[in-house]
Amino acid sequence: MKIGKININTRLALAPMAGVTDLGFRTVCRELGAGYTVTEMVSAKALCYQDKKSIPLLQLGEGEHPAAVQLFGSDPACMEQAAGIAAEKSGADIIDINMGCPVPKVANSGDGSGLMRTPELAVKVAEAVIRGAGGRPVTVKFRLGWDKGSINCVEFAQAMEEAGVAAVAVHGRTKVQMYAGRANWDYIRAVKEAVNIPVIANGDVFEPEDAPHILRYTGADMAMIGRGCFGNPWIFQRAQAALEGKEIPPLPPLAERCDTAVRQFRLSAGQKGEHIACLEARKHYAWYLKGVPYAGYYKEQISKISTLEDIDRITAGIKRDLRDS
């Protein structure tokens, strides 16, 4: 498929997730089959005000292409300026606009999924980002609507296409649902049938077999994996096998999974410093141990990680004491 003039030679994308899809995690997912990656969402206002903490979020890995940076905001002038900054600082192939974040402090201020309540403003935001993107294609990620009484994803997608957006990603839940309940793939299929641009399907891809299933069911061009990759970057490798009709490889042994986790945390530390990387490693490492029997003691140790030395010590203990079921 193509997004604008950018060739995307994959049907598997890593969803943008705040506090999750940093450079370290994207690198690991990329190596394991995520052929298209998107950064964590970056505040357009923060870029316009030259916030030093936001610039590193735009950094792509070596050879991380095709890739997108994701911006959020609802002020068209600021979004236009931020698109130019993001394009210049990141070298990304695509600029993505977040119109789906359900977190109250984002959505209630009119950003993220709040834009689904103001489609006219959303169109102005999309047009502004297209102007600021310097010829790069612009995509939009959104939800089904604000709540089940105001589902407007089909009309919203059509408005985005008319505004000049090159592709859309649809998460099959409403803002009010957050991440609860089941994703409704019927609406994603309805969006795909209503527009001529590529559609990326997102929601409830937790097992390798879910990737071909969501693509068959919705007719979408690409499957976007979010929470299904928490502590499990191998889902991309395994989902690719499912897409190709090949035998799905098993997860690697626990010791190898721990080595991957440690590599991820060291990559993150190289980008954002040891302190922040170690704080974020607390949730990531716990995810890597999901389903491992008798891991409670080590999960407690993980919740106190503050140095890379702590990570190495805990990893040695896990390798010594724990096994897969």
Mind telling me the catalytic residues?
A: 101
Distance CA(218)–CA(210), nearest Å, equals 12
> 26-35 b/e with 16+ CB inside 10 Å = b?
bbbbbebbbb
CA 184 to chain centre: 19
Q: Mutual orientation of helices 119-132 and 153-163 as an angle, nearest 10°?
A: 30
CA–CA dist 227, 84 (Å, integer): 30
- CA terminus-to-terminus distance, the chain: 40
Both structure tokens of 220: 């979408």
d(CA 214, CA 224): 10
